[in-house]
Amino acid sequence: MSHYIKASKKTFSKCAQDCLVRPLLKQRETGELCDIVLKLNGRRYYAHRAILALWSPYFLSMFTCNMREKNIREIDLSASLDLEQNSVFSTVLDYLYTGTLPLTTEIITDVVKISDFLLLDDVREFCQQFLLGLGNLDLSNCLRIRFLAEDHNLPDVAAAARSIIEARFHDYLIHHEDILDLPWEWLV
């Protein structure tokens, strides 16, 4: 005789990645069911207000306060974001949906700018960790990175870049024309 135990409750679930993220990303590709279009230098990015507002205080304020953008379908960010590679904006938007952010030295400057503009503190922290990582800050890029760090509130990166500049100032002076861009107060 078999003895079966009666279960009074059992919960079944699907992975959120399959149920939520993939369909939302597909909607971003086609624009279907997206309720906002972000424009940047002629390129259009479809998105969902709820997702943007969930992760970005910038968008939360825009969509919930009495700003004119609250009720319009297209928002042009071209005048506010000056990026070297506009495609990086899509990478950051994908992060808001997936939680995954691939960082490289080629895109780090634009990701820092976007994170600062959209008030994405977690992304800013990822950028800071990346820049402070082994080999990502060196004599060849320390001045450019210091300017970036000073402009976008990355104090640990700014301090590390300053240390490199101070320790190897002579080498930097000889081998880099960027020295001409230094503010006078940095030289005294």
CATH at residue 89:
3.30.710.10
Q: Is residue 19 part of a domain?
A: yes
Q: Does residue 187 surpass a pLDDT of 70?
A: no
| Cα-to-chain-centroid distance, residue 7 | 47
Q: Is residue 123 part of a domain?
A: no
Mean pLDDT score across all residues of the chain: 88
Q: Is residue 122 part of a domain?
A: no
Q: Is residue 49 part of a domain?
A: yes
The larger pLDDT score, comparing residue 58 to residue 176, is at 58
For residue 138, CA distances in Å to 19, 100, 151, 171 come to 43, 26, 19, 12
Domain that holds residue 60: 14-105
pLDDT number for residue 132: 95
| Cα-to-chain-centroid distance, residue 166 | 29
Summarize pLDDT for 27-86 with one digit per residue, the tens.
999 999 999 999 999 999 999 999 999 999 999 999 999 888 888 999 999 999 999 999
Query: Could you give the CA distance from residue 164 to residue 143 in angstroms, rounded to a whole number?
Result: 9
Domains of the chain: total: 1
For residue 69, CA distances in Å to 45, 49, 60, 74, 158 come to 16, 11, 11, 8, 34
Q: Does residue 151 surpass a pLDDT of 80?
A: yes
pLDDT number for residue 31: 95
pLDDT number for residue 175: 61
Summarize pLDDT for 10-30 with one digit per residue, the tens.
777 667 667 888 899 999 999
